[in-house]
Structure 1
Amino acid sequence: MLLVALLVLGGLGFWMQQKAEKKRVDEELAQAQGIVRVLSATFSNKAALKVGEVKGTLDVTTVDNGALPILRSSQKATIPYSVGYTLDLSGLGADDYRWDQQNRILTIRVPIVTPEAPNVDEANRSVAGTSGVFVTRNASVNLQRRASQLATAKAGEVAAEPANLARAQANAEKVVAGLARAPLDAAGLGPLTVRVVTPASGTPSTERWDVSRSIEQVLAERQQAR
């Protein structure tokens, strides 16, 4: 009888342990699903989230050859410009989130930032000088138009410089982490760390990004294994 009682107690203890473990995994899965729902709702309308800007002035020199050599003219101008950087978060899905329940770290994978079309401030253009024997009205219009085109092209090149893109990416990490934390705190998920991964920041050397499984899939597999 004692042996039977011990076996029954052992079986009951094992059953209760399994039940508790299943409950814990269910809670983890529910929390992961809750995180995905909250963040999906937060980011769904963020198709053009502004995460940075580069601006300054550009000195450009333009030339209008005219119909005759005597009509050749040139102009030097300084033109202010600005280029914004945007991040499209509307396409984020469950595969872009990783939830480390043990360490309570949420990792969000976001796309690279995209420079917007350069904005050239024609109203604040300053002309350093115009040269030419005869500067016709048509030549003046051409010089101004070419200066604008040249400044726009140069502004695009500045925005595409690696250092400027890196700064925009770094700022994107801060912006996304801030956007994510607010609704997660409001949802009562407790203390957690939000880490944003971009192509610029990469992942820690000890971690390989697993693109095959989302947080929901990982927990679902663990649940099925029980």
Structure 2
Amino acid sequence: MRRGCSTFLGVLLALAVVSGLLLWFGRDYVEQKLDPDPVTVAAASLQGLREQNRLSTFAARYVAVVTSRQSRLGLTARKTLIMPGMVRYEVDLARLDQDDVQWNAESNTLRITLPPIEVVGPDVDLDAIREYDEGGILMRLTDAEDKLDEANRQAAQRELVRQAREETPMRLARDATRRAVERSFAMPLRAVGVEANVEVYFPDERSGDREQWDVSPSIRDVLANRQSAQGQ
């Protein structure tokens, strides 16, 4: 009876030791596979963003109203063009690399510097174009109407782009892009239990802490240092 109990206790002890080892090595394996290190997670998020190629998070519709005039033979012709168009605001994510992503361990902050916003378009709504003209005699006798139409089209295109580049829509486009990129980095970090501050900037928004961030390592530098250390 005693021998049987001793054998049973020995088996339980062996099972406990084996279970402990499995738990220890299993945890170590999971930590290696699911490394919660913010630099590793940020590098994976960056790769996912780059695969999107271009990011467009904001679009706006504008209306250009332009008028052109021509005078010949003592006569004057005038045409007014009303041209609606849609403009998209995009960021070329292919230009974003590891040097643009910096990790500040002291403040637990990940900072991303994006390429500039690009205005794409306008995509003109041809069905909504309206034209009004005066001076039909000159347009019937000469090519004045063709000249006026060409001048109006070019002027309207420039006007749509000018409106798209005004301060308010550019700010809205930046804010929308900033939020999208912040989520792209913050959500994977939270998923592995890393609570980090994610800040997204554009090149001309470098604030007064520029010197601090210039000495903060990019994720390229951090990963390169780790590989070098592992090789030694």
TM over 0.5: yes
Q: What is the deviation of 1:196?
A: 0.7
Contact 2:96 2:114 in 1 (8 A): yes
Distance 1:60 1:155, change over 3 A: same
Letter in 1 for 2:194: G
Contact 1:97 1:106 in 2 (8 A): yes
Match of 1:10 in 2: none
Distance 1:203 1:46, change over 3 A: farther
Distance in 1 of aligned mates of 2:36 and 2:119: 38
User: 3-state SS of the aligned residue for 1:172?
Assistant: helix
Contact 2:104 2:216 in 1 (8 A): no
Distance 1:84 1:39, change over 3 A: same
Distance 1:214 1:196, change over 3 A: same
Report 1:126-165 matches (<5 A): 126-127=130-131, 129-134=132-137, 135-136=139-140, 138-165=143-170
Q: Which has the larger radius of gyration?
A: 2
Pick one of 34, 40, 43 that aligns with 2:49.
43
Match of 2:14 in 1: none
Distance 1:216 1:130, change over 3 A: closer
Distance in 2 of aligned mates of 1:101 and 1:54: 39
Question: Percent same amino acid at aligned positions?
Answer: 22
Distance 1:170 1:200, change over 3 A: farther
Distance 1:102 1:212, change over 3 A: closer
Match of 2:15 in 1: none
Distance 1:216 1:31, change over 3 A: farther
1:190-221 Cα shifts (integer Å, max 9, x gaps) = 32221112235433548632168324535848
Gaps of 5+ in 1: 1-26
Distance in 2 of aligned mates of 1:92 and 1:63: 46
Q: Does 1:115 align with 2:114?
A: no
Match of 2:64 in 1: 58
Gaps of 5+ in 2: 1-31
Match of 2:195 in 1: 191
Using the TM superposition, name which of 112-121 and 98-107 deviates more.
98-107
Please, what TM-score do these two structures have when normalized by structure 2? 0.67
User: 3-state SS of the aligned residue for 1:190?
Assistant: coil
Distance in 1 of aligned mates of 2:66 and 2:133: 12
Match of 2:18 in 1: none
Distance in 2 of aligned mates of 1:169 and 1:200: 12
Distance 1:206 1:199, change over 3 A: closer
More helix by share: 2
Letter in 2 for 1:88: D
Contact 1:169 1:200 in 2 (8 A): no
Contact 1:43 1:89 in 2 (8 A): yes
